[in-house]
Amino acid sequence: MIKVITYGTYDLLHEGHIRLLKRAKALGDYLIVGVTSDDYDRSRGKINVSQSLMERIENVRSTGLADEIIVEEYEGQKIDDIRRYGVDIFTVGSDWTGKFDYLKEFCQVIYLERTQGVSSTMLRSSRARVRLGLAGESTILEKFVRECRYVNGVEISGIYNDDLSRIPESLKSLPFVTDNYDALLEKSDAVYVITHPSRHYDDVKHALEQGKHVMCESPIALSENGCKELFDLADSKGLTLFEGIKNAYSMAYWRLILLAKAGKIGDVVSVEATCTSLRDLDLNDKETLKRTWNSVTAWAPNGLLPVFQILGRDYREMRIVTHMLDEESRMDAFTKIEFVYPNAVASVKVGTGAKSEGQLIVSGTKGYIFVPAPWWKTDYFEIRYEDPNENKRYFYQLDGEGIRYEIVAFSKAIETGRNFVYVSRESSEEITKVMEEFHEGNKLIRI
Ligand code: CTP
C-alpha cells in the first residue's frame, strides 16, 4: 500500500484545495491530510485564518478524499509524521517547490501544479472589506499602516489631522489626506483614533454618532462616565468600540494572564508593572506640551491592564504619587499608581522623565511570573519557583509588536458583531477612572 501525506490550512475550502487533494489521493492508496493548528499557523505568520481548526478539519473531511486527518502542531512535525505513519510520498502545491526537498531523505517528494486564480487569501479579502480611517498623529501610525498590509479585508481609507503639516511624509501617499474629520469618516467604515488623549472622548463620540466602528488608542476617555457613555452609545448603535492596547493581543501576554488566574503561582499577592521611555521636552514650549501625551496617558493603560485583569476592580484604595513638571498640561516626569486589594497589592510605575527596568512581576503564594523588559512587547516569560528545577520558560512568536493581531481582532469584531474581549469594558472603565483621578488632580500626592 502506497501512503501519501499532504498538509495545509484549508481555510474556506475552495476548488484549488479539492483539486490538490484529488491528485494527491491518486498518487497512492491511502491519503493522510495534515491540517495546521491555529497556534502553528500563527507562529508561522498566518494570522488571518477565518475558520476554526474544527471547521477546517470538517472542510477536508467533507471532500471524502482523506483516509485519515491529523493536526499539524509544530515545526519539524512532518519528519515525525513520515516516520510514524510509514509515508511513501509527501506532496504539496507548486507554491512550495523546493521548500520540502529536505524530506527526500525520508520519502518521495512531489510538487503538484497549483490551481490558478483561487486562494484562501483571495476569498478572505473579497469578503467584507473594512475601510479604516486614521485620525491623529503618532509614531505608531507608520507601523500601523505597515501592519495593516498583513490583514486581509482591511484597507486604509485615509488619514486626518487638524494640522496637515504634522502628517509624516511617508503617510502623505495614503489615498486620502485631510484636515476635515467628517470628510475622513465619510470615506470610512471604521476609524483608528490616536489624537491627543484630551480629544479622545469627542473624537470617538463623533465617529460613533456617524455610525462608524472605533478603535481608540487607550485611554478611551479621561473620565469614567465618559467611557461608560461611549460604550453605551456604541452598544445602542450596534457598533464596535475597541480599546487599543497592543500588548493585550500578544499570545504570550494572554497566556501569562490565564496562567496567573488559573493558580499556577498560587494566590496572586502582587502585580508590579513598570513602563518608561525617556524624552526631551521643552517645558516653555506650551504648544508642544499640549500635543504631547504625559507619562500617565502614554504608559499607564499598559501597566494597569494586567492589574485589573488579574486582581479585578474591587480594590480598597488607590494612591497616585507623581512628579509633575507642568500643572496645566498635567505633564509628569514620573508617576506611581498603587492599589490595595483585600488580599493583594499592585503598583504601576510610569515615566517619560525617568528611566527604569521595564519589567512585569506577578507574585503569588507558590511562585512568581517574571516578564523581562520590555514587557509590553511580550513574547517571553518565566514562571519561577522556590526550587529552580521547577522553573518554566514560555516563548510565543510576536509579529509586528501585537499591532497586527490587534487589527485582526478589530476587523473580526466588526465582521461578526462580537467583541472577543481582550480588553473588557470593565478594564476600560477602570483605566479611565485612574485617568480621571490623575487629571482632576485633587487627590494626587505631589513630590
Ligand atoms: N493549493 C493549490 N491551489 C490553490 C490553492 C492552494 O493547489 N489555488 C494547495 C496548496 O499548494 C497546498 C494546499 O492546497 O498544498 C493547501 O493550501 P492552503 O495554504 O491551505 O491554501 P491557500 O489557498 O494557498 O491559502 P492562503 O491563501 O491562506 O495561503
Q: Ligand 1, closest atom to CA 11? A: 20
Whole-number pLDDT of residue 149? 87
Is there an atom of ligand 1 within 6 Å of 20 CB?
A: yes
Residue 415's alpha-carbon distances to 154, 208, 290, 298, in angstroms, are 11, 17, 36, 29
**173/258 same-domain check:** no
Domain harbouring 24, CATH code: 3.40.50.620
Last residue of a domain, one of 200, 229, 245: 245
**Alpha-carbon Rg for the chain in angstroms:** 25
Whole-number pLDDT of residue 128? 66
Nearest to residue 47, comparing CAs of 411, 415, 416? 411
* Closest residue CA from atom 9 of ligand 1: 93
Is there an atom of ligand 1 within 6 Å of 31 CB?
A: no
Written as nine digits, the cell of 46 is: 498566518
Question: Considering its fold, how many domains does the chain have in total?
Answer: 3
- Rounded distance from Cα 121 to ligand 1 centre (Å): 9
**440/329 same-domain check:** yes
Is there an atom of ligand 1 within 6 Å of 92 CB?
A: yes
Residue 289's alpha-carbon distances to 32, 139, 264, 335, 357, in angstroms, are 63, 17, 44, 17, 26
Whole-number pLDDT of residue 152? 82
E-state strands within 96-153: 108-112, 130-136
CA angle 304, 357, 306 (to 5 degrees): 20
Q: Ligand 1, closest atom to CA 95? A: 11
Distance in angstroms (rounded) separating the CA atoms of residues 104 and 201: 60
Q: Integer distance in angstroms from the first to the last C-alpha of the chain?
A: 79
**393/282 same-domain check:** yes
**118/174 same-domain check:** no
| Contact yes or no for 337/434 (Cβ under 8 A) | yes
Whole-number pLDDT of residue 150? 86
* Closest residue CA from atom 16 of ligand 1: 8
- Rounded distance from Cα 116 to ligand 1 centre (Å): 10
Domain harbouring 233, CATH code: 3.40.50.720
Whole-number pLDDT of residue 417? 78
Last residue of a domain, one of 204, 229, 245: 245
- Rounded distance from Cα 100 to ligand 1 centre (Å): 15
Is there an atom of ligand 1 within 6 Å of 119 CB?
A: yes
Nearest to residue 409, comparing CAs of 9, 197, 400, 371? 400
Q: Ligand 1, closest atom to CA 117? A: 8
Residue 48's Cβ-side half-sphere holds a number of Cα atoms within 13 Å equal to 20
Whole-number pLDDT of residue 420? 65
* Closest residue CA from atom 10 of ligand 1: 93
Whole-number pLDDT of residue 36? 96
**97/21 same-domain check:** yes
* Closest residue CA from atom 14 of ligand 1: 17
**109/127 same-domain check:** no
DSSP reduced 3-state for 22: helix
Mutate which of 17, 42, 49 to test ligand 1's pocket (most atoms within 8 Å of Cβ)? 17
Domain harbouring 307, CATH code: 3.30.360.10
**333/283 same-domain check:** yes
Is there an atom of ligand 1 within 6 Å of 63 CB?
A: no
Distance in angstroms (rounded) separating the CA atoms of residues 435 and 424: 17
Is there an atom of ligand 1 within 6 Å of 34 CB?
A: no
Who contacts 182 (Cβ-Cβ below 8 Å, separation ≥6)?
210
Is there an atom of ligand 1 within 6 Å of 95 CB?
A: yes
**219/340 same-domain check:** no
Low-confidence ranges of the chain (pLDDT < 70): 128, 419-421
**275/413 same-domain check:** yes
Task: Find the domain containing 365 and state its range.
Answer: 247-446
Written as nine digits, the cell of 426 is: 470593565
**47/159 same-domain check:** no
Last residue of a domain, one of 122, 150, 169: 122
Q: Ligand 1, closest atom to CA 113? A: 7
CA angle 169, 174, 179 (to 5 degrees): 80
**40/181 same-domain check:** no
**230/253 same-domain check:** no
Mutate which of 53, 57, 110, 114 to test ligand 1's pocket (most atoms within 8 Å of Cβ)? 114
